[in-house]
Amino acid sequence: MKPPHPADKARYVREMFTRIARRYDLMNSLMTGGRHQAWRRVAARMAEPQPGGLALDVATGTGDLALALLTETPVRRVIGVDFSDGMLRVGREKLRRKDADGRVSLVVGDALSLPFPDKIFACVTSAFLLRNLADLAQGLAEMRRVTQPGGRVIALEITQPTLPGWSHLFGWYFHRFVPRLGALVSGDREAYTYLPRSVERFLPPTELSGLMERVGLRDVGYRRLGLGTVTIHYGTA
Ligand SMILES: C[S@@+](CC[C@H](N)C(=O)[O-])C[C@H]1O[C@@H](n2cnc3c(N)ncnc32)[C@H](O)[C@@H]1O
């Protein structure tokens, strides 16, 4: 599989998530042994929004982090934005099933040009978005722009573990096993080949922290979970 050209990346990513939307949640549960929801809950708590505030989850997909913001924090309402209609459709069905559609709204929009005014959200989160962006600095700058001063920006991402032995085992699992599982479960081997490659090509946490500072976030840091397979980045607007 050839990596998408940067100019084509947004279209490639949008079409890919729209294709796999129906099996996306199931694949997450299988790949992570059910841990993915716990990571989102930690990320939501780390967003620390003011009680009664409005939260934004960027690239919300099927809405799991938007829902975690509702259950784990004292926010009043959550907006989830994503550019894949197919992912949002699955998310809306989930919100209705959970009777949460009155407090979470899912809207179509681009993370590189968020359809919101400056400084209106008490916190802004994302999960598994950043390595999919055609322009990472622009995506981070947009998250900061729409966050109220003092509000937190949170980004949960998959990372390559560094522990000797474990990193090797994880590499085998992620690069060899996951594409086969993806082919079997979602019928889309390409999407689940793109996944480990996008993680491999992405910035290590220290470099991402540097970029978050350069877009104007302060008190930047990160916390590794899942034996280093995921990292929660945080900063203050
Ligand atoms: C790996 S999924 C993560 C979904 C969700 N955040 C979660 O925790 O499961 C990545 C999501 O990012 C969305 N996405 C990627 N680039 C985007 C962009 N530029 N604007 C809006 N959504 C984007 C995709 O459509 C997809 O739903």
Would residue 157 count as lying in a domain? yes
Would residue 1 count as lying in a domain? no
For residue 117, the SS3 value is coil
64 lines ligand 1 (CB under 6 A): yes
Would residue 232 count as lying in a domain? yes
User: Given this model, what pLDDT does residue 78 score?
Assistant: 98
Count of domains in the chain?
A: 1
pTM of the predicted protein model: 0.96
For residue 164, the SS3 value is coil
128 lines ligand 1 (CB under 6 A): yes
Which of 8, 9, 13, 124 has the most ligand 1 atoms within 8 A of CB, as the residue to mutate? 13
Would residue 136 count as lying in a domain? yes
* 1 has a pLDDT exceeding 70: no
Cα 226–181–189 angle (5° rounding)?
A: 115
C-alpha separations of 156 from 60, 93, 110, 133, 177 in Å: 12, 24, 18, 14, 23
User: Given this model, what pLDDT does residue 182 score?
Assistant: 96
C-alpha separations of 221 from 78, 206, 234 in Å: 24, 9, 5
Of all residues in the chain, what percent carry a pLDDT higher than 70? 98
10 lines ligand 1 (CB under 6 A): yes
The closest-lying atom of ligand 1 relative to the alpha carbon of residue 87 is 27
Q: Residue 231's domain spans which residues?
A: 6-236
Would residue 178 count as lying in a domain? yes
Residues 43-57: what's their mean pLDDT? 97
Alpha carbon of 144 to ligand 1 centroid (Å): 17
Q: What would the pLDDT profile of 87-144 be if each residue is shown by its tens digit?
A: 999 999 999 999 999 999 999 999 999 999 999 999 999 999 999 999 999 999 999 9
Would residue 55 count as lying in a domain? yes
155 lines ligand 1 (CB under 6 A): no
Residues 46-69: what's their mean pLDDT? 97
202 lines ligand 1 (CB under 6 A): no
Q: What would the pLDDT profile of 199-216 be if each residue is shown by its tens digit?
A: 999 999 999 999 999 999
* 5 has a pLDDT exceeding 90: no
Q: How far apart are CA 223 and CA 155, in angstroms?
A: 11
H-only helix segments in 48-156: 64-72, 85-97, 136-145
Would residue 117 count as lying in a domain? yes
130 lines ligand 1 (CB under 6 A): no
Q: Check which CATH number belongs to the domain holding 182 and give it.
A: 3.40.50.150
User: Given this model, what pLDDT does residue 22 score?
Assistant: 97
